[in-house]
């Protein structure tokens, strides 16, 4: 357990933001909780409590060699989206190609009152028809947790490459 990071029991957590943007969703069961400790912000480091993630962070386009939050978000969303496509393709009885991939692009942009993200998922489904690809992508976008989290919150374009 020496690789695990935890907040000491003697440290009191104080809730300072309560129910801002709280979704009125009743969770049936928590399947997994990812825990990451980050220091230094965009020019820092992040490490998961199990030690599987241990990375340096750098500003996009900056001199550092670390990853940036936009890359990490793109990786997480694209991996989750492929998982959602696998589940939905099976239900739809559409064979998902073994070479299925997602090229995710997440933009850090400015808006009048600060910063914003926008994203594009370029979904590679070689060998499927456009109708099959559309059915699988639309179903995945309805069920993928990342898609649910971003729906109505950021600009998203999803493109099929067949």
The two structure tokens encoding residue 28: 């049936």
State how far the Cα of 28 lies from the Cα of 100, in Å rounded to an integer: 31
Short-list 51, 22, 21, 17, CA closest to 34: 51
- Which domains, from first to last, does the chain contain? 30-67 (2.20.25.10), 69-161 (3.30.300.20)
User: In the prediction, which pLDDT does 7 show?
Assistant: 47
CB 69 within 8 Å of CB 57: yes
Q: Alpha helices, DSSP H only, in 19-144?
A: 69-92, 130-143
The two structure tokens encoding residue 12: 């009191």
The two structure tokens encoding residue 85: 């496509």
Interval 105-124: pLDDT, tens: 999 999 999 999 999 999 99
Interval 80-110: pLDDT, tens: 999 999 999 999 999 999 999 999 999 999 9
Query: What is the chain's mean pLDDT, rounded?
Result: 90
Q: What is the pTM of this model?
A: 0.86
Q: 17: pLDDT confidence band, cut at 50, 70 and 90?
A: low
The two structure tokens encoding residue 10: 């003697």
């Amino acid at each position: 357990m020496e690789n695990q990071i935890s907040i000491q029991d003697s440290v009191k957590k104080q809730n300072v933001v309560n129910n801002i943007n709280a979704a009125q969703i009743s969770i049936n069961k928590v399947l997994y909780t990812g825990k990451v400790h980050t220091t230094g912000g965009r020019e820092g480091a992040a490490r998961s409590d199990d030690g599987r993630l241990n990375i340096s962070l750098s500003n996009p386009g900056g001199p550092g060699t670390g990853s940036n939050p936009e890359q990490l978000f793109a990786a997480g969303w694209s991996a989750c989206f492929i998982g959602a496509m696998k589940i939905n393709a099976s239900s739809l009885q559409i064979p998902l190609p073994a070479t299925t991939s997602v090229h995710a692009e997440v933009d850090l942009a400015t808006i009048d009152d600060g910063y914003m993200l926008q994203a594009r998922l370029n979904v590679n489904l070689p060998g499927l028809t456009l109708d099959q690809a559309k059915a699988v992508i639309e179903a995945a976008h309805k069920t993928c947790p990342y898609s649910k989290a971003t729906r109505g919150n950021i600009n998203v374009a999803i493109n099929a490459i067949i």
